[in-house]
Structure 1
Amino acid sequence: MTNERFIRNDQYNFIKRQVHQLVYGHATVNDQHVIGALESLSIERVDELFTELSNEQKEMLNGMENIAEKEAAEQFLLELEPYIIPFNEPSEQRMKKLFPKVKKLKLPKVGLDYTKMTYLSFDDIGTKKRYIVAPANKGFIGLAGTYEESQIKQICAICNRLTTVILFMTKTKGEAIGTYTKKGNYICKDAENCNHHLLTLEKLHDFVENMK
């Protein structure tokens, strides 16, 4: 079996959701025709995540077809973990290039788990600023903004689920001299948790593009 990492974190999260739906289907549906259709649809959806798979990789993912119980689901997902592509941790020099206007950039804490991460997010609590490093077509893109705590639950603009959020705001120069444009959106307060629920890169890319 190949040891090549080929699953992005968001793809792993999507696979995990499909696996959990299979377990739920087996627990609640008695009609084998319905179960068969659910299995076929789940495998089809997972296959569509990838543009190119080796026979071994496809066989590995198709193993989800035989999952009916929670224990088997957990074992299947555990066996997929070594194939997740980790987030490429940017160096301190790279971070400073991503945020050139920040004179005293507070770097992310040491010991972060980059294995199941689609984007990097870290806060400077003292200045109420959040820094986001997201994958781009070529390397990374950095997004810096302020944040406001919120006591309400909203849909996160990145992972698209109802959760505890912060209001993230950016400020860019306007067309006229001396003017600025502010943009804001609600995103998960807990960025690590957001990474665990992100199912597609599309929402993340849209968020970054809209906030730039």
Structure 2
Amino acid sequence: MCGPFIRNHQYNDIKKQAGNLQHALRTIADRKVLESVRQGTAAKIAELFPDASSLQKQMLEDIVTLETSEDFHKYLRTLEPHIVEFPHITEKQIQKLFPKNKKLKIPNLSEIDRRYVTYLSWIDISTNKLFIVYHLDGQFVGVEGKYTPTNKKSYCFVCNKYEDLALFSAISKKRPAKASADYYKAVGNYLCMHGHECNKNITDVSSLENFINTVIG
């Protein structure tokens, strides 16, 4: 029995690699070159799962046998039951992450497909604030900050895709040893305006985790 072992960002990366291989199959005629691309694709996917079991490895390596668009669709559908859901969290737990926000507006958690979530996020339009909830090192962490749409497209620091962006600016909890009482440091970066699109695109969590660690101290 092979249970869930693929995180959302890893599934997105597999989709990306599958797309690259499909493109190669459509545009490259040389069979030796194609075989090299197939093996390279399988190796990149294997690198995402250094601790995979033999059964998990076999499932992932099936990508080298794919030929048609339908083959690729079936392959990705086969992996979907093995996606790890974002950990269950309640409204009460979220409220505890943002104790200063007494009237915190929380999205309907029951409507979220947690398989395709790397981080939860929502915007409070009344306060122009963005809230992020992430599961880091075995526990939930929350980050809130000012949300300012930029009305332009560029690369999101979280998913590195070319999307409509907003500036997200949060106050870091890190303080120098001899900082004055009124010391504060804002940490800002540009990210996708729409969190669900970012969750579809993200293939690496390192930038997100670095940002969160900078804010929470």
Could you say whether these structures have the same fold, taking a TM-score greater than 0.5 normalized by the shorter chain as the test?
A: yes
Q: Provide the identity percentage.
A: 34
Partner of 2:180: 176
CA contact (8 A) 2:117 2:199 kept: yes
Partner of 1:187: 191
Partner of 2:108: 109
User: For residues 13-52 of structure 1, what are the structure 2 equivalents within 5 Å?
Assistant: 13-52=12-51
- Tell me the alpha carbon deviations over residues 126-149 of structure 1, each in whole angstroms, 9 at most, x when there is no partner: 111111011211212110111011
- Structure 1 residue 172: Cα displacement: 4.2
- Tell me the alpha carbon deviations over residues 18-63 of structure 1, each in whole angstroms, 9 at most, x when there is no partner: 1111110010001111111111111111111112222221111111
Correspondent of 2:211 among 189, 192, 207:
207
CA contact (8 A) 1:19 1:67 kept: no
Unaligned runs of 5+ residues in structure 1 are none
- Tell me the alpha carbon deviations over residues 137-178 of structure 1, each in whole angstroms, 9 at most, x when there is no partner: 121211011101111112111101111011011124662122
Partners of 1:66 and 1:21 lie apart in 2 by 15
Partner of 1:167: 167
Partner of 1:62: 61
Partner of 1:157: 157
Partner of 1:123: 123
Partners of 1:8 and 1:171 lie apart in 2 by 29
Partners of 1:63 and 1:162 lie apart in 2 by 30
CA contact (8 A) 1:157 1:207 kept: no
TM-score, structure 1 length as denominator? Answer: 0.94
Match of 2:115, as an amino acid? T
- Tell me the alpha carbon deviations over residues 109-136 of structure 1, each in whole angstroms, 9 at most, x when there is no partner: 2412211111111111111111101121
Partners of 2:61 and 2:121 lie apart in 1 by 33
94-103 vs 28-37, which deviates more?
Answer: 94-103
Q: Number of residue pairs matched?
A: 211
RMSD: 1.5
- Going from structure 1 to structure 2, the CA distance change for 1:29 and 1:158 (only over 3 Å counts) comes to same
> Residue 187 of structure 2: SS of its match in structure 1?
strand
- Structure 1 residue 4: Cα displacement: 0.5
CA contact (8 A) 1:116 1:196 kept: yes
Match of 2:167, as an amino acid? L
Match of 2:214, as an amino acid? N
Match of 2:145, as an amino acid? G
Unaligned runs of 5+ residues in structure 2 are none
Partners of 1:152 and 1:23 lie apart in 2 by 31
Partners of 2:155 and 2:135 lie apart in 1 by 22
